[in-house]
A and B are shown apart, each in its own frame.
Chain A
Amino acid sequence: MREFWDSTIGKKVFVAVGGTILVAYLVLHMAGNLWSLAGPGTVEPHIDEYASWLRNFGEPLVPYEGTLWVVRAILLAALVVHLVGVIQLRARNRKARPPEYPARRIGRSWESRLMMVSGVVILVFLVVHILQFSTLTIDVTPLVEGAIYANLYWAFQEWYVVLFYLVAVFLVGTHLRHAIWSVFQTLGVDSPERNGQIKAGASLLTVVIVAGFAAVPILFFTGALGVPIDNEPTAAVLAGGGGQ
Chain B
Amino acid sequence: MRFNLEIWRQFDRESNGHFESFTVDGIDPESSFLEMLDQLNAQLGREKQRMVAFDSDCREGICGTCSLVIDGYPQGPRQVTACQIYMREFTDGATIKVEPYRNSAFPVMRDLITDRSALDRVIQAGGYISTKTGPQPDPNSMPVSPETQKEAFDAAICIGCGACVAACPNGSAMLFTGAKVKHLNLLPQGQPERTTRVIGMVEQMDAEGFGGCTNYGECSRVCPQEISLDVIGMLNREYRKARKDEQPAHRAKMTAQ
Contact = CB atoms under 8 A, between A and B. Distances in A.
Given A97-B102, A106-B218, A92 B235 contact: no
Interface of B: 71-73, 99, 102-105, 166-172, 202-203, 205-206, 209-218, 221-222, 228-230, 232-240, 243
Nearest to B154: A192
A146 to B, nearest CB: 42
A95 B105 CA distance: 10
Nearest to A88: B212
Contacts of B99: 101
B236 A103 contact: no
A12 B228 contact: no
What 9 A-B pairs come out closest when comparing CB atoms? Answer: A188-B237, A104-B72, A96-B211, A96-B171, A93-B170, A8-B212, A97-B171, A188-B236, A93-B211
A47 B36 CA distance: 71
A105 to B, nearest CB: 8
A contact face: mostly helix, strand, loop, or mixed: helix
14 contacts: A8-B172, A8-B213, A9-B212, A13-B236, A92-B170, A96-B210, A97-B102, A97-B170, A115-B214, A186-B236, A188-B235, A188-B238, A192-B228, A195-B230
Nearest to A12: B212
A181 interface: yes
Q: How large is the interface on A (under 10, 10 to 19, 20 to 34, 35 or more residues)?
A: 35 or more
A95 B171 CA distance: 9
Contacts of A107: 217-218, 221
Interface in A11-37: 11-13
A120 to B, nearest CB: 15
Interface in A58-77: none
